[in-house]
Structure 1
Amino acid sequence: MIRLGHAPSPTPELPVLTGASTVLARAGEGPWPRYRIVALADLGGGELLAAFDGRETGQDVPDPTGLVQRRSLDGGLTWEGFETLREADRAGRHWYCDPSFVVDEPAGRVHVFHTHAKDRGVWDAAAGTDDADRDVMGSAVSTSTDGGRTWTHRSVTAVAAPPALIRTAFPTSGTGLRLRQGPRAGRLVQPYAGWFHAGEGTGTGTTDGEGTADRGSPARSGSAARSESAADGSSEVVRSFVLWSDDHGETWHRGEPVGEGMDETTIVELSDGRILLNSRDHARGGHRRIALSSDGGETWEDRGIDEQFVDPGNNGQLARRFPEAQPGDPRAQELLFTNSRDPFARRLGTLSRSLDDGATWEPVGLFEPGNLDYSVVQPLGGGAIGILWEVEAREIRFTRLEPEDLPGE
């Protein structure tokens, strides 16, 4: 059972975690002047993909941005050079950012969700589903059947952000899920953050390979949501939701939104097949928000603030350490979480661990003692862990931690 209301104990002096570490990108080197926003995927057999934004400046879109990646063939010990994931269209001013991997091993596919921007970013984007509209900030999914060496791209703007419900939305960077337990085993799930019109409720939708969509059920009014003013003066609220697919990514469906002030979100499958959602607080109140789904992300139970998660309002990442462990195996309940464990500043990059399916959490150690922005953690097999993070648009760093690198192992 996920419990709430735990006040965190005073943070002890945490050990600094040391493993096999690499700087994957550095400002002023490689194909872009700056780098931000990280995603990490384990493709199996020791092959890893690390993706991130290449940026002209350190700022978000609509400043020029494209997607790059690097590849490891030995579990993160060494890395090959830069590869283009999705190249910016400088002449047409089309920009791509916020990568998130969803690996579908049985189908031999890897998907990467990302944002597609032109002239506007999230704060002033207009509602709409026409990706040719330069005021609309859309989203896309790219798919590879050869381990990320080549990609095909298509829009999911229509299903992710129907204008009757949502002004704009974007996929949360990092990684999504392939569910492994229960009646929805095999489902692919990608978390999103959306700026919903205040008073609008849920509604669902579907997109096929051409990106068409329908609204589905009528919107239902949500609970009293914290709202803010959009660029046009209307009221809106930030909520989390997911896109999900039961056909290996051929079609994507939109689940119902959850929460008040839910922002960039990370998700993990629990040992019983439920999904735990953990979101940064849009109000930056010093902690994080959580929710649970028992139907594969279609609906959610909002659990509100969980004070165990100290956070300044930053993107973090959840993961199961042993995703292949079956229910009944204690390892199936071991979860990992990375974030900047400070209520006010993006500093103290901390690896935390739960041994009871997310009911209680304890910090393990610091993978970044100084400043950091977004981070992502993934299991690498045999109990090893990979962590990828960014430092102030200056560097993208990766470390591989073996079990013996973790205190108490």
Structure 2
Amino acid sequence: MTFTCFDFLICINKIYSSETICIYRIAFYYRFLCQPKPKNEFWNDGKAVFELSEIFACERFPNVVTAKDGSIVATWGNKSYQVRRSEDGGKSWEPIITIAEPGFQGGGVIVDENSGDILAFVEEGHPISPFKMYRSKDNGKTWAVEETSLAGDKNGNVPSMHMNEHGITLQFGEKKGRLIRATRNYDGGNNKEFWPNHYTNAIYSDDAGKTWHTSAPFPANGTGEATLTELSDGTIYYNSRRHLSTDVLNPRMRHIAHSKDGGETWEGLYVSEELPDGDQSGDYGLMAGLIRLPIEGHDVLLYSNIVSNDGRNHGTVWASFDGGKTWPVNKLVEEGKFAYSSMTTGRAGTPSEGLIYLFFEGEGEDPKGYSGKMAIFNLAWLTGGKDWEEFFDDY
């Protein structure tokens, strides 16, 4: 039987005229027939989408973001810093743009949601190394170096950019409009002897990237290469790789903390029981991807890493529907080689709408090297066609 909003009103009249009140039925009809369609309806059209292609042939280190116009902007490279763009949702890719040669991917690419500018951080070589900040004012088509300053943390350490998930613009709370990205402190170098003093942190800017401040250290040493995103209440969720444990915490699972002050300090450290950190046969971890989907009223997070005991393979995506507390969904994306990864999501009203983009290091022409691969999918594919809304507590 099909009901309309008009039927609902008649139903209420009949209910009251018969002196029978059925609150449950009234609530049901109102919720499903009379309320306006949610802004996020496009996330659940029921048709599964999955595509996989190679967009870079060699080198490594992925970051991917979505420009304000909906263009997908993929950055890459450990010898030259390269960019590829797609204006049609990933169906085709424009030729490679080389921003810097030599150039080393610093990660943390940020789309400034205030202006539409895109900021990229390019290091001169493998860390520890100086960096330059490049700005694009045309959705990633052209780039120019820009003067910027970076203040050290409370220990006097100026962080390295390498090699973190893309940054974000804060959208909620008192620090709305702030730019922030994950960074790391090498404390002397990348040799194993220095690892006990390594730690992740973040840098943030309140003047569109002209000046940057460094947060307090993440509350665990031996960490590096992190991800962060903002929850709908303004809390920043910080998820870090850990390559060496200096305490009793498990370095093979992701380390989590939160910030209530816009990314200036971190609190509530715990180890995820569901999210693995790289190859489980050793303590080394793996750079991961993380995004929050723009689904109004809910904190849907996606995380990418591997499920493996024998090397970097079996790339997998996890989904959380409660802001990272639990991760009830996971799905294999790539059975073969899968190393560093980065994720972004499409924008409403553009060809990228409703799509998720996973950019990762995959099998390359050189068996010892990588290629840059792009997986494009949607929530219907990730959940196997299941109605993902039933994962919400208020369903």
TM-score (norm: length of structure 1)? 0.71
Correspondent of 1:45 among 69, 83, 105: 69
Q: How does 1:311-330 map to 2 (within 5 A)?
A: 311-312=277-278, 313-322=285-294, 325=296, 329=297
* Structure 1 contact 190–244 (Cα < 8 Å) conserved: yes
Q: 1:21 aligns with which of 52, 56, 63?
A: 52
Q: Is the 8 A contact 2:71 2:85 kept in 1?
A: yes
Kept after mapping to 2: 8 A contact 1:166/1:197: no
Residue 116 of structure 1 pairs with residue 108 of structure 2: no
Root-mean-square deviation (Å)? 2.6
Residue number in structure 2 paired with 1:398:
374
The answer to whether the aligner puts 1:172 opposite 2:163 as a matched pair is yes
| Structure 2 equivalent of residue 283 of structure 1 | 244
Answer whether contact 2:253 2:271 (CA < 8 A) is retained.
yes
State the 1:347 CA deviation. Answer: 1.6
| 1:109 maps to amino acid | D
Report the CA distance between 1:106 and its aligned residue.
Answer: 2.3
Query: What do residues 194-250 of structure 1 show as CA deviations (whole Å, max 9, x unaligned)?
Result: 12379xxxxxxxxxxxxxxxxxxxxxxxxxxxx9634xxxx8511111110112112
Secondary structure of residue in 2 paired with 1:351: strand
Equivalent in the alignment of 2:213: 253
* Segments of 4+ moved more than 6 angstroms: none
Q: What is the match of residue 365 of structure 1?
A: 331
Distance 1:156 1:138, change over 3 A: farther
Structure 2: where are the runs of 5+ without partners? 1-47, 246-250, 279-284, 348-352, 364-368, 388-395
Q: What secondary structure does 1:229 align onto?
A: helix
Give the letter aligned to residue 121 of structure 2.
F
Number of equivalent positions: 315
Maintained 8 Å contact 2:108/2:161: no
Structure number with the higher helix fraction is 2
Residues 192 and 405 from structure 1, CA distance in 2 versus in 1: closer, same or farther, beyond 3 angstroms?
same
Does residue 153 of structure 1 match 2:125?
no
The change in CA–CA distance for 1:315 and 1:155 in structure 2 (over 3 A counts) is: farther
Q: Which amino acid aligns with 2:161?
A: F
| Cα distance change of structure 1 residues 161 and 112 upon mapping to structure 2, 3 Å threshold | farther
Partner of 1:349: 315
Q: Is the Cα–Cα contact under 8 Å of residues 100 and 114 in structure 1 kept in the other structure?
A: no
Instruction: Give the residue type in structure 2 aligned to 1:395.
Output: S
TM-score by length of 2: 0.73
Shift of 1:192: 0.4
Residue of structure 2 in register with 1:389 after alignment: 360
Q: 1:172 and 1:273 mapped to 2: Cα distance? A: 25
Mapped to 2, the partners of 1:152 and 1:98 lie a distance apart of 16
391-400 or 274-283, which deviates more: 391-400
1:107 lines up with 2:115 in the alignment = yes
Q: Percentage identity across aligned positions?
A: 28
- Per the alignment, in what secondary structure is the counterpart of residue 143 of structure 1? strand
Displacement of 1:141 in angstroms is: 1.7
1:187 aligns with 2:178: yes
